[in-house]
Amino acid sequence: MAQGKLIDGKQIAAELRQELKSEVATIAIRGVTPGLTVVLVGNNMASETYVRGKIRACEEVGIRSDLIRLPEETEEDTLLAEIDRLNQDETVHGILVQLPLPRQISEEKVIARIRPKKDVDGFHPINMGKLATGLKGAFLPCTPHGILQMLKRSHIEIAGKHAVVVGRSNIVGKPVSLLLQKENATVTMCHSRTKDLAYFTRQADILVAAVGKYGLITRDHVRPGAVVIDVGMNRSPEGKLAGDVMFEEVREVASHITPVPGGVGPMTIAMLLYNTVEAAKAALDS
């Protein structure tokens, strides 16, 4: 049986971290250590895992990381005041408030409060707006940027190709479609209200699945030879970490495919480090 090539996000992310490590060393000569502060509110099991991964990755490349833990019942004003303090702190180049937040706190308000220059997630409306209008100097959101890096470093051509994005979230679907358009792909966006999803996905040269629904993309959704990027983070019925794509059967028709775990996730973290280093460099030059 034919097998699509694995796009090894874990491996590519490791390469990126090595590149960033030498970049950090160069900045250190000028007396600055890039600093990332992660704010974690409440007790979310998945968030604990992700935050641990981010902090370990920072250590590896020489980025100083701080973790601020706030209790589940934290009031919105308390968190906003904490962000104000971090906005003022010159040793903090990047601020990341781990999502989701407890229900009493508006994520929208919190994201808007972070200084755009420290918004290493790329979620602030200023950064999103810059991306949408093609203005320079925006932090690119980490998952979409990571996907682009995986495609480029796997020598997959984007220009002129039909990219189909399933999912329209602010964090992945919308920004990845903008980035793919910028790279001259023809982009189709699908979502939960799309009728006959397979009709659209079967036309994709590059298929990005970013819905968060186990088993959404089957062999029947994929054109032979397509490149398949799986952004989903779900549990299979057996309790294993799995994406939106039925990996084994889709791999038999795809030319390239990303696994879960070991695909998009590690790239997201690598691009967070990248943005933090960029933030520190920008602070040096200002």
Which residues are documented as binding site for NADP(+)? 167-169
Nearest to 221 by CA among 244, 200, 206: 200
Q: d(Cα 270, Cα 268) in Å, to the nearest integer?
A: 6
Region 91-110 residues binding Mg ion, contact defined as CB under 5 A: 101
Q: Specify the stretch interacting with ligand GUE by CB under 6 A; choose among 46-54, 153-161, 222-230, 277-285.
A: 46-54
Interface with ligand GUE (CB under 6 A), residue from 20, 40, 97, 179: 97
Smallest distance from the beta carbon of 265 to ligand GUE, in angstroms? Answer: 2
State the Cα angle at 265 between 244 and 98, rounded to 5°: 105
Nearest 5°: the CA angle 144, 146, 148 is 75
> Of the residues 8, 119, 121, 230, which is catalytic?
121
Binding map of ligand GUE across residues 133-172, x = CB under 6 A, - = no contact: ---------x------------------------------
Q: Which of 249, 248, 217 is nearest to 230 (CA)?
A: 217
Which H or E element spans position 16?
A: helix 9-29
Residue 205 is a catalytic residue: no
Catalytic, 88? Answer: no
Figure out which of the listed residues 34, 50, 92, 208 binds ligand GUE, where binding follows CB under 6 A: 50
Q: How many residues bind ligand GUE (CB under 6 A)?
A: 18
Rule CB under 6 A: is residue 241 a binding residue for ligand GUE? yes
Binds 260, which of ligand GUE, Mg ion, none (CB < 5 to 8 A, cut-off by type)? ligand GUE
The torsion region of residue 213 among left (phi > 0), alpha (psi -120 to 50) and beta comes to beta
Distance CA 276, CA 74 (A): 26
Could you list the active site residues?
54, 98, 121
Binding stretches for Mg ion (CB under 5 A): 101
